[in-house]
Each structure stands twice: as structure tokens, then as C-alpha cells.
Amino acid sequence: MNWIESFTSKNKPIVALAPMDGYCDSAFRAVCQKVAGGNIVVFSEFYSADGLHHNPLLAKRVLVHDPIEHPLVFQIFGNTPEIFLSAGKIIESYGAQGVDINMGCPAKKVVKCGYGSGLMVDRDRAMKIVNILAENLSIPVTVKTRLGWNGSDELVEFGQALEQAGAKLITVHGRTYQQEYTGNANWEPIFELQKNVKIPVLGNGDCKNYEDGMKKKWNLGGFMIARGSLGNPWCFLPENYEPTWQERLDVMREHMERMVATKGENRACLEIRKHFTHYLHGFEGVKEYRKRLAVVTSLSETENILKELSELDVLHLETHK
């Protein structure tokens, strides 16, 4: 039974950490999955299929992971079917539970190469990529895309073609390519797609937390949470769970320790800073500590600051609910 079947067989909504470039590395995925009690699926930040195919060192650096992250799906981008297959087999060999094809990134440098959202308008190539992976991998192949290029009129047809090509699940971001990340996400066309395919469809866009996702999902197979998870891995828990101050600091510490273990102390100190800013957003009396964490240079320095923070009596001004 694959990870999709394990959710659907129990009639459970699929709740997922959305792939976010620069955030969804092994450390963050592990923290989210651990806080969620193993009840979600985590998607990686996107990686180049060409890079994984040509560079074994890249594969070793980004695909090694902690089993606590399972179920784990790696997302890849590119536009060459044979290269996708090579990258997919490499991902499979590292013990991942799935491969996700990026057909939604709106970044111009990505799209001009025919990657990401560019595959929405190169459908023959898009279907060949899905089909070659589906026919040659033992793990499910999924797709993340958008409503369309400048509208949603062709979403159902596109989704049906993806299903026929072998996709086992489709996630749709409720904005078009031309919208990028502006305006509000529109889930209505995503509901319509789910009516017209047999595979699960996940909604994505402006989903703050579990309760918000459950209200939004209607007929969908589930939903993804993206920016709502930053600094708030508790967003995947029901009933708008709000952690204690000490729980928050403990997770910050673990996040840092995991990042040091996977990336080394120097790189971890640079990359953890943006996470710390999110973790401490909305708290009174921590501005100076947040500034210090934004320039932290060692694990020991981080631990000292967190120890100081643990001794504060802090009022949460802006909850993550």
C-alpha cells in the first residue's frame, strides 16, 4: 500500500506540507512531521531533475533524510522525460515514498526554460514525463500545478490528461501563472476538477492551518499548507493548537540541531535565521532576541539565546490561529 492509499483507505483527508523553495529541507520536514505525530505527508523543496541526473553529490546532499519524515515526496523540475526518469529512479533508491512533478512554479527564469508552469502549455511533453515515470517507478507519481495560464477553463481537461498519463494525485494552487502569488486563491475550479477525476486532488493556496484547510477542502482529497507552516509546525494539528512558550523554544532548538547535523554549523547558522524570525513573530518583548538570532553564528550562541528566552514571561500578541 502506497502513502496515498494509506490515507484514502482510512477515509482520512491528506494533509501535506507544501513544497517551498528554501524552506522544506530535511530539518524542517522532520520537525513538521514530528510535531504532527506522523499524520501528514511532507514534500521537499524542488530540485532540478537535470542536477540529480548529472551530479551524484547533489543527490547525496539533498536526498539523504531521516525516516521520521516519512511519508516523504521529493519534488523535481525540468522538461526532459528521460532525465526525469533518471532522477526519479535516484529518488526511489533513497527510500522516498513518492516523486512530485513541478508544473506550477511561476518564476520567469524557470518558465522560460519550459519548466514549472511552462509545462502547462507544453502538454504533450508534460504527459510524456508523467507517463515515463508512472510506468517505470514503483512509488506513486504526483503533480503540482496551477489553475492555468491566465484562467481555469482548461483545468479539468488538463487534470484528466494527467490522470490518464498515470498521475496518482494532483495538487492545484488556486492561482494562475499570471497571478503568481497575488490576489486570493480560488478553490472553486479545484472542486470542479475533483468532480471529474478519480484520483485525489489537493487544494493549495491561502490555507493557514488544519482547521482552515478542513473548512476549505469540501470535496477534495485534502490540502497543502505552505506559508502557514513557517514558524508554526503546530498548524497541522486540529483545534487550532497553540504551543506553550517552552514547546516553541524546544522545537526551535531541535530545528537548529537537525540543520547543523545535515548541513554543518556554518551553513545551518545562515539558513536557520529566517526560520527563527517566523518562530518569534508576534511576541512582545523579544525584538532584541530576534535581532540576535537573525545574525547567529554558532549552535552554542543559539542555545544561550534560547536559554535566555526561556526565562522570559512573554505575551503572545498575534496568534497563529
Q: Which residues are catalytic?
A: 105
- Helix locations, the chain, DSSP H: 3-8, 26-35, 49-54, 56-63, 81-93, 108-111, 123-136, 155-165, 188-195, 210-217, 245-263, 265-279, 287-293, 299-310
The residues pairing with 316 across neighbouring beta strands, listed in sequence order, are 283
Q: Which residues contact 146 (CB under 8 A, 6 or more apart)?
A: 103, 104, 106, 117, 120, 172, 173, 175, 176, 177
Query: Among 3, 195, 234, 231, which Cα is nearest to 99's?
Result: 3
- Chain Cα centroid distance, residue 85: 21
Q: Which residue has the cell 543559539?
A: 302
b/e sequence 11-28, b meaning 16+ C-beta within 10 Å: eebbbbbbbbeebbbbbb
Q: Which residues contact 55 (CB under 8 A, 6 or more apart)?
A: none
Burial of 156 (0-12, 13-18, 19+ CB in 10 A): middle
Give the integer Cα–Cα distance in Å for 49 and 262.
Answer: 21
Is the Cβ–Cβ distance between 255 and 272 less than 8 Å? yes
Is the Cβ–Cβ distance between 26 and 67 less than 8 Å? no
For residue 48, the SS3 value is strand
Quote the cell numbers at residue 59: 543527490
